[in-house]
Amino acid sequence: EAGVAQSPRYKIIEKRQSVAFWCNPISGHATLYWYQQILGQGPKLLIQFQNNGVVDDSQLPKDRFSAERLKGVDSTLKIQPAKLEDSAVYLCASSLSGANTIYFGEGSWLTVV
């Protein structure tokens, strides 16, 4: 079974530039999550989708972050404009609807300089 796919794996951008991360969840997983993990900390949930609807985006900095899952499968997370403090790993994860086990991708590492 293919896992959660993310790209790009690494990205270096200058502050005030924009960046987009793509995620393809495990086939059949209705729930998709984006987490932000700053070095030395645990992951923090940014947004949770159920199919193409948003379940929770309470910790998403909406002035600069946006995410979409238009057809209920792939998702894109965008940051515009980026700040130095956005340097982190962005983890995409998915799960079956109602299931407790979450499957994570390898992450997209962002460095803002």
Partner 1 sequence: SQQGEEDPQALSIQEGENATMNCSYKTSINNLQWYRQNSGRGLVHLILIRSNEREKHSGRLRVTLDTSKKSSSLLITASRAADTASYFCATDTGGGNKLTFGTGTQLKVEL
User: Is residue 44 part of the contact set for partner 1 (CB under 8 A)?
Assistant: yes
Distance CA 35, CA 37 (A): 6
Residue 2 contacts residue 23 (beta carbons within 8 Å)? no
Site residues (CB under 8 A) for partner 1, limited to 71-110 = 91, 93, 95, 99-107
Q: How far is CA 60 from CA 63, 67, 99, in A?
A: 9, 9, 23
Tokens 């209920």 correspond to 72
Among 1, 27, 39, 41, binds partner 1 (CB under 8 A): 41
User: Is residue 4 part of the contact set for partner 1 (CB under 8 A)?
Assistant: yes
User: Is residue 22 part of the contact set for partner 1 (CB under 8 A)?
Assistant: no
Residues near partner 1, by CB under 8 A: 4, 31, 35, 40-45, 48, 55-56, 91, 93, 95, 99-107
